[in-house]
Amino acid sequence: MAGSNTVLVTGGSGFLGSYCIKLLLERGYRVHTTVRNPNNEKKVAHLKALPGAADRLTIFHADLLQEGSFDASIDGCSVVLHTASPFFLQNQTPETLVEPAVQGTLNLLRSVSRAPHVRRVVLTSSSASVYVHCGTKPATHVFKDDDWSHEDLMRKNEQWYYVSKTAAEREAWSFVAKLTEPHFDLVTMCPTLTLGPMLQPELNQSSQKIFNFMTGATKEIPRAFKTIVAVRDVALAHIVAFENPNASGRYLLIGACPTEKELCDAIVAACPTAQVPTTVAPGADPVMMLTDCSKAEKELAIRFIGTREMVAETCASLIHHGFVNI
């Protein structure tokens, strides 16, 4: 996209945000990023250490729930990658997950609407907004970019993380559709559980899955499939989504769909001494969910990294950062 020399990445200290910044700096862009506390060196030191950061990275304070909080960081940017959103799976409530996700997205879009130099917003949504159908789809259904999760049933089931991602993305599309003279468009990314090397020094939620298997915290292997995708692929998809002016709409990002046993086998292959469980939970064999990510492959030129490689990278990163002692 012509003129996109400075890019804002919200949530820059996170797993995905950090990797987006890394790739942007490698590609020669100037980058603005937002974090809750720019003075917290534990959160930002890994960003400042990236090649090119000293000259081309500026870190701003922003609060998802504060109106106008993104105004300063957007100044001078022609593209926004909105990766900031709450992600945790314990003690979920509408107040801790849904409200911050929705209001944070709307606050960001309001700031963008006041910044005529912005041409595109790439929003990090989730596969949780695509395929959580709560039993309303047959096993033969192939989930694609235009599928939406069943928000009413998710609310009834109190699946608040899934609701937060679905509601935030729907509100984003609704906001853009209501603009009378829009100067920017919206593209959304819908990645599944994201694995790969961590840049940040703190254990992120999605890497916890592999951590629990490696350390024996998970005692029994679930009899289930798990959709996964590499952080490198997700970050690259965000960037190509604004570099390619023809990119549009939603992109489902799923790199592989192994069984949980295959995940464990990949961990053992990468790290034979890890305390990986060997017992598989009883019950019937699961039915693999069918997905089609050909739109991302064709329009964003993504060649998805496979299970073994992304698991090996995650294991190596957990060891490198000292989370797992082998």
Residue 133 has pLDDT above 90, yes or no: yes
Tell me, what's the pLDDT at 4? 55
Q: Are 326 and 275 in contact (CB under 8 A)?
A: no
The candidate with the shortest Cα–Cα distance to 10, out of 150, 151, 135, 104, is 104
DSSP 112-151: HHT-TT--EEEEE--GGGTS--TT-S-TT-EE-TT----H
Residue ranges of domains in the chain: 6-320
Q: Could you read off the pLDDT of 151-172 as tens digits, one per residue? A: 999 999 999 999 999 999 999 9
Average pLDDT over residues 196-225: 96
Q: In this predicted model, what pLDDT tens digit does every residue of 81-129 receive, in sequence order?
A: 999 876 555 667 888 889 889 999 999 999 999 999 999 999 999 999 9
> Would you identify the CATH topology of the domain 6-320?
Rossmann fold (3.40.50)
Q: How far apart are CA 251 and CA 190, in angstroms?
A: 6
Token pair recorded at residue 307:
């299970």
DSSP string, 204-230: -TTTHHHHHHHHT-S-SB-SSB--EEE
Q: Which long-range contacts (CB under 8 A, 24 or more apart) does 130-139 make?
A: 130/190, 130/250, 130/252, 131/289, 131/291, 132/159, 132/162, 132/166, 139/287, 139/290
pLDDT band at 259 (very low <50, low <70, confident <90, very high): very high
Contact between residue 133 and residue 149 where contact means Cβ atoms under 8 Å apart: yes
- Helix or strand holding residue 195 (H, E): strand 193-195
